[in-house]
Structure 1
């Protein structure tokens, strides 16, 4: 999406120093914040979009007929006051969309705008024999986003599901059983993904990728080709089955987990709880344990492990809790029943086994990246010559409890 923003072209121009100059806020350490977080990315989009890059995404493709079947809204607790049209402005909807706080009606409106956009983008794939059937089977023949997501996932997950191997027989027997299994998988996915919670999660996951990922030039890319989205959507179905609690449902949930792990390289136990608007970028080698909890607006790179320490917990929670608006770098390992609070950044390759305070950046092994406080340094007097207050004499926040013995004055690291 960012490639479509005209302001970026000039931003990369070389100045007299010969170094590329990036727009304010696109530097991940800029005061504007990290553009992989939802709120920051939306503000940057509004700031640098000289032309309305979002508003024409939902322009309908005249050559694509809209299915007569209307999307199901029975499972939402509220319905929009007016049915969104094919020209609904997705960009305007996203300006106020909140992963957790938006009403069910707002989610439905955004979902319809997303689906209209997907249908328009899928129409472009009809020009190639390689992609025409994919566009038709996964998008164009369906009447709603839950149906399209279910079709996309079942087409990937089904061949071969355990117990549904198709041999040489073409009539009855294994083929009939396989067909029945695929139909059951797809119908189960449609049922789960039509629920209010799942609809919110899927819509949030898609628009999170669209807004924060510069590699995503539209919604069709994550919908059809990003395995991180596929793995998350599969987990959301498996999690619903796991919560059902019956032996058959939990068996089906574990079957989906196993297949998703084989196919996508993402191993999420169906018992794990994952919030809305989560992006698994590159999505290879991600492991999330059964008692892990992940908040909303989380950006997670490849190789992340949310695991246990191996110490006996006797049935207690053994995996971490990740807050909202958290960034987990490539290869990071967060282990044990600890909390990485809201707004934190865990750097690539970090190992975290202790609680991380809100808004912190953690690197290495349980190290916080902060400017050191020089011990016994006297606070400066005010401009009017007044003595500093007692509060000003004390290091603020977390630094108040630290001594100089655990500080690395060269890299500004502190032990948690």
Structure 2
């Protein structure tokens, strides 16, 4: 995303804030402090994150300095945040304003805080990264290890209870609903968490465990327990998860359709198990 695109998102947010002040004057000071007094998107984002995560031992002014340092060193984090806002407003019908994710949605806040923590982790400041991870977990109910690798255009919808392990990878344009776990299978060390490829949608309460790949454009049904790799453009559901069909679009994450409408026949399912999972049936 270019600087022009970031500025376009920011212009939308500023115009919305002015309109919202007119609609609800009692919130004028809130909109002023969070949005209207800031000249840039990155300034507003750093202020909001710092205010959300501050505590008595780590005041907001200190946190904001850390966040601003990260943004200056890695400007792509700001463009990723703008792309995440576009993802939210384009996929969540309950969100009508560009300003809503920035002001209110803890999935968005947790994701941007993760990006700060990941930058700290990559720059040998693991203690501060873990401190920030804990604050996000306690205050927002989202636990993302700072060593995980996450792309952009990400929607963490509702977000409560989402857990992402240390060696997990989430590529671009993925949608994840509440209470999803991308976890390991025990006490093993090393590369032990799922790899979620581009365009995947993961339904509420799904558990994906182990160093397995969820292929590009796959769909994981709500409440599923996934213990084996999932082929690209395949729908799985159940406990344990099994193939139930194919998504109707190349990127289910963009459609957010929770139904399974395109079924596969038994022969196709048997072939999938025998050739892709290598287990036979």
TM-score strictly above 0.5: yes
Cα distance in 2, alignment partners of residues 359 and 222 from structure 1: 29
Contact 1:321–1:340 at 8 Å: present in 2 too?
A: yes
Decide whether the 8 Å contact of 1:367 with 1:415 is kept in 2. no
Aligned to 1:192: 70
**Aligned partners of 1:302 and 1:216: how far apart in 2?**
16
Query: Does structure 1 residue 209 correspond to structure 2 residue 102?
Result: no
Query: What SS class does the counterpart of residue 131 from structure 1 fall into?
Result: helix
Q: Is the 2:270–2:280 contact (alpha carbons within 8 Å) kept by the matching residues of 1?
A: no
Q: CA deviation at 1:311?
A: 4.3
Dislocated runs of 4+, deviation >3 Å: 127-130, 398-403
Aligned-partner SS, 1:121: helix
Match of 2:200 among 287, 302, 326: 326
Matched, 1:124 2:3: no
Confirm or deny: 8 A CA contact 2:141 2:160 kept in the other structure: yes
Work out which of the residue numbers 241, 249, 253 in structure 1 matches 2:129.
253
Pair 1:184–1:263, CA change in 2 (3 A):
same
How far residue 124 of structure 1 moved from its aligned partner, in angstroms, is 2.4
Partner residue of 1:360 out of 234, 240, 243: 234
* CA deviation string 1:59-79 (max 9, x = no partner): xxxxxxxxxxxxxxxxxxxxx
Unaligned runs of 5+ in 1: 1-105, 165-180, 375-394, 404-413
Deviations 1:240-297 (A, max 9, x none): 001111xxx2121111111111111101111111101101001101011111111110
Q: What secondary structure, in the 3-state scheme, does the structure 1 residue paired with 2:222 have? A: coil
1:402 Cα offset (Å): 5.0
Pair member with larger Rg: 1
5+ residue gaps, structure 2: 246-263
Written as runs of structure 1 = structure 2, the 5 A alignment for 1:252-401 is 252-313=128-189, 316-364=190-238, 365-370=240-245, 371-374=264-267, 399-400=270-271
TM-score, with length taken from structure 1: 0.59
State TM-score, norm by structure 2.
Answer: 0.86
**Whole-Å separation in 2 of the counterparts to 1:328 and 1:110:** 28
> C-alpha distance in 2, partners of 1:185/1:355?
39
Q: Give the helix-richer structure, 1 or 2.
A: 2
The corresponding residue for 2:106 is 227
SS in 1 for 2:204: coil
Q: Aligned pair count?
A: 256
Structure-1 residue corresponding to 2:41: 145
Report how far residue 401 of structure 1 moved. Answer: 5.8
What is the DSSP-based 3-state SS (H/G/I as helix, E as strand, rest coil) of the residue aligned with 2:2? helix
Alignment of 1:153-168 (within 5 A): 153-158=49-54, 160-161=55-56, 163-164=57-58
User: 1:122/1:402 Cα in 2 relative to 1: closer, same or farther (>3 Å)?
Assistant: closer
- Contact conserved, 1:368 with 1:415, CA < 8 A, in 2? no
- For residues 117 and 190 of structure 1, the distance between their equivalents in structure 2, rounded to whole angstroms, comes to 22
